[in-house]
Amino acid sequence: MDWGMRNRLARMFPTGSGNTVMLAVDHGYFMGPTRRLENPRATLAPLLPHADAIALTRGVLRTSVPPEAMTPVVLRVSGGATVLKEDLSDEAITTPLKEALRLNVSAVALSIFIGAPHEHESILSLAKLVDEGEDSGMPVMAITAVGKELEKRDARYLSLACRVAAEHGAHLVKTYYCEDFSKVVEGCPVPLVVAGGPKLDSERAVFELAHAAIHEGAHGIDMGRNIWQSDHPVAMLKALRAVVHDQASVKEALDIVAAEKQRPATSPHVAAA
């Protein structure tokens, strides 16, 4: 692996744990102004210093992140369908690699839709992006998207999807946590990070997910709604960092959140209430 590629990966995995805490704020590219991400700049500002990387589109990067920010960027480069369409798999590469280089990002990310109507096109897009990424020293993260079919999130399906991503050259794969997640890890020869999915019922459930994922071999999280839809997003992010980097238990994570809640509110949503 060339120096540039290694350097970009090292920026996203900065601590001794070998893991990463990515903050996902790319939801608007197909969902529009998602709850509590209506104003990305306001949502992001207090969270930026606590994330190892942020995952977003070029539009939100240019409009809502100060160029002085040192947080590494994972740039989503696929799109082309919205929640108003039945088939979310109708995506293509919407942002060229030249633009990713111009924006000085640390990785590019695209969704692949295994088993969906546009599976073929999404796999070819991944392969093309990997070719370009290898030429330019740009890591590629494949996202095993399930569209509206959240029930697809089981070990059999995700193992297949993650393996297909790795076989086509992805340097990193974002997937979902599931029962028997260690089987997904075992079958995927590149690092996996897990998304959070729609907001869970409790803080405990979020930490249990992250703790189990790390314990079973994930190299981090790339989480969105369970952080910034919380009334205490900074506290959630700090507690998740402890789980991902310091092997904190679920109870320790809950204690961190409890302590953080005693501090003045940093969520724009709580402050405005």
- Rg (Cα) of the chain, in Å, rounded? 17
Of 174, 183, 238, 261, catalytic: 174
Q: Residue from 195, 212, 214, 240 that binds ligand R5P (CB under 6 A)?
A: 195
**Tokens 């690092």 sit on residue:** 191
- Looking at the Cβ atoms of 63 and 82, the one nearer to ligand R5P is 82
Q: Is 55 in the site for ligand R5P (CB under 6 A)?
A: yes
Q: Is 225 in the site for ligand R5P (CB under 6 A)?
A: yes
Tell me how far, at minimum, the Cβ of 233 lies from ligand R5P, in Å. Answer: 12
Q: Is 206 in the site for ligand R5P (CB under 6 A)?
A: no
Residue 27: count other Cβ atoms within 10 Å of its Cβ.
22
Q: Residue from 119, 197, 204, 208 that binds ligand R5P (CB under 6 A)?
A: 197
Q: Where are the alpha helices (DSSP H) in 90-232?
A: 97-102, 119-136, 155-167, 181-186, 203-215, 225-228
Q: Residue from 126, 170, 210, 223 that binds ligand R5P (CB under 6 A)?
A: 223
**In 13-105, at which residue ranges do the beta strands (DSSP E only) sit?**
20-24, 53-56, 73-76, 78-79, 92-93
Tell me how far, at minimum, the Cβ of 85 lies from ligand R5P, in Å. Answer: 15
Query: Catalytic site residue 148?
Result: no
Nearest to 173 by CA among 156, 183, 158: 158
Stretch that binds ligand R5P, among 59-67, 178-186, 195-203, 245-253 (CB under 6 A): 195-203
Stretch that binds ligand R5P, among 87-95, 113-121, 163-171, 193-201 (CB under 6 A): 193-201
- Looking at the Cβ atoms of 137 and 197, the one nearer to ligand R5P is 197
Q: How far apart are CA 52 and CA 207, in angstroms?
A: 18
DSSP run (H or E) holding 176: strand 172-176
- Looking at the Cβ atoms of 19 and 226, the one nearer to ligand R5P is 226
Site string for ligand R5P, 253-272 (x = CB under 6 A): --------------------
Q: Is 88 in the site for ligand R5P (CB under 6 A)?
A: no
Q: Residue from 23, 143, 239, 248 that binds ligand R5P (CB under 6 A)?
A: 143
Question: Exposure pattern of 8-26 as b/e (b: 16+ CB <10 Å)?
Answer: bbebbbeeebebbbbbbbb
- Looking at the Cβ atoms of 73 and 195, the one nearer to ligand R5P is 195
If phi > 0 it is left, if psi is from -120 to 50 it is alpha, else beta; for residue 265 that is: beta
**Is 188 exposed, middle or buried, given 0-12, 13-18 or 19+ CB atoms closer than 10 A?**
buried
Q: How far apart are CA 258 and CA 269, in angstroms?
A: 18
Site string for ligand R5P, 94-133 (x = CB under 6 A): ----------------------------------------
* Catalytic residue list: 174
**Which residues contact ligand R5P (rule: CB under 6 A)?**
24, 26-27, 55, 143, 195-197, 222-226
